[in-house]
A = this chain, B = another copy of it.
Amino acid sequence: MRRDEIPTPALLLDLDRFERNLARMAQHVRATGKALRPHAKTHRCPDIAKQQVAAGALGVACAKLGEAEVMARAGVRGLLITTEVVPAASIRRLTRLVGEAPDTMVVVDHADNVRALARAAAEDGVRLDMLVDVHVGGRRTGVEPGEPALALGRLVSEQRALRLRGLQGYAGHCAHVMGWAARRTASHAAMTPLMETRARFEAAGLPVEVVAGGSTGTYDIDSELAGLTELQSGSYCVMDLEYRRIGGREREALTDFEMALTVVATVVSVAVDRAMVDAGLKAFSTDKPFPPEAVERPGIEYGFAGDEHGRLTLTDPSRRPELGERIEFFPPHCDPTFNLYDRVWVLRGAKVEAVWEIAARGRSD
């Protein structure tokens, strides 16, 4: 099948760009002496995870247990579940998962959760590898840094069925700070308490073999931290409009990684003042305050116009879209865009090289 035969709307991955992104990040972590465990919440696709591992990643980070189950079943190892696993039934699923994929790690930020995990692991005869999730600002999950984190680390290390491996601190609020210098200032401020907590763990004899954090926005900022062992950056593999606009170290846009993900749509209606494509708010992420952007097609502006419609406003009336014309768009935010599709069409130029299943799509459980 060829690029122009794929039924629309569809999610497309440019393999050349994707491979260059993987190579670029592999080179960066090698040069800075860090490991990489990229976030699979970006793509939810085991085939992409395997390519990342083949390019040197330790495994992948998973936002949810459901994602990790899919990755493990597909043969991906080196999993880190970055959100606390709390319900009793979920903890049971976790011990089963660890039975299959023993090097899986999970984060924890509450003493009750530590005790529940320890009990279940002991009952089910597995050992759970744990990171203490530290709150580094952003008001999401994580125990407060310093003494509270240390106390939780001690509690983990006292449980026979648990094995403390180190720390996680994810500064999501820094990932999209506009401008590299401002982002660096924000991320260093956020991550400093994590580094101080690391020092306390070391002084107390607690393990810090893994200290994980970082986003695509801070991949070349957090790698400056001597105490960070691995990056969790995810979006770098395909990029999106949101990350592109935050700015890079040397350029106004973040162009260190290439825009490898597009949605292709078809013009299904034309009128004097507009053209409509068959891709609306079920075809793109809608969580950002800016719309999809046409690729290599200046003179048109996309606007959401319902579940299944996008309205093209023509800023260059000399190049009017035709009925049936196919147009590709960059999505605003890659993670929730991937999560709308069952598959991604993998292209080498005009040729469909593969169709990869987004097997963990919808697996937020």
Contact = CB atoms under 8 A, between A and B. Distances in A.
A309 B141 contact: yes
A172 B311 CA distance: 13
Main secondary structure of the interface of A (DSSP, over half): loop
A362 B64 CA distance: 21
Given A7-B365, A324-B86, A276 B309 contact: no
B5 A309 contact: no
Contact of A364 (B112, B283, B287): B283
A200 to B, nearest CB: 20
Nearest to A83: B308
Nearest to A313: B139
A323 B63 contact: no
Interface stretch (A27-35, A155-163, A249-257, A335-343): A335-343
A295 interface: no
A351 interface: no
Contacts of A52: none
B268 A86 contact: yes
Work out how many copies of this chain go into the complex: 2
A364 B41 CA distance: 22
Nearest to A306: B172
B269 A307 contact: no
A86 B281 contact: no
Interface in A72-89: 83-87, 89
Given A307-B63, A323-B110, A340-B339, A7 B142 contact: no
A178 interface: no
A129 interface: no
B323 A112 contact: yes
B308 A364 contact: yes
A203 interface: no
Interface in A284-334: 285-287, 304-309, 311, 323-324
Interface residues of A, number: 63
A267 interface: yes
Instruction: Name the residue in A5, A10, A85, A282 with the highest tally of chain B Cβ atoms < 10 Å from its Cβ.
Output: A282
Interface string A335-365: 1100111100000000000000000011011
Given A140-B276, A364-B278, A269 B109 contact: yes
Contact of A5 (B89, B144, B274): B89
Interface string A1-43: 0000101111000000000000000000000000000000100
Given A278-B64, A281-B287, A305-B139, A268 B84 contact: yes
Interface of A: 5, 7-10, 41, 63-64, 83-87, 89-90, 109-110, 112-113, 135, 139-142, 144, 172, 266-271, 273-274, 276, 278-283, 285-287, 304-309, 311, 323-324, 335-336, 339-342, 361-362, 364-365
27 contacts: A7-B89, A9-B364, A9-B365, A10-B365, A83-B278, A83-B309, A84-B268, A84-B269, A85-B268, A86-B324, A109-B269, A139-B271, A139-B311, A140-B269, A140-B305, A140-B311, A141-B268, A141-B276, A144-B271, A278-B364, A279-B364, A282-B335, A286-B286, A286-B287, A308-B364, A340-B362, A342-B362
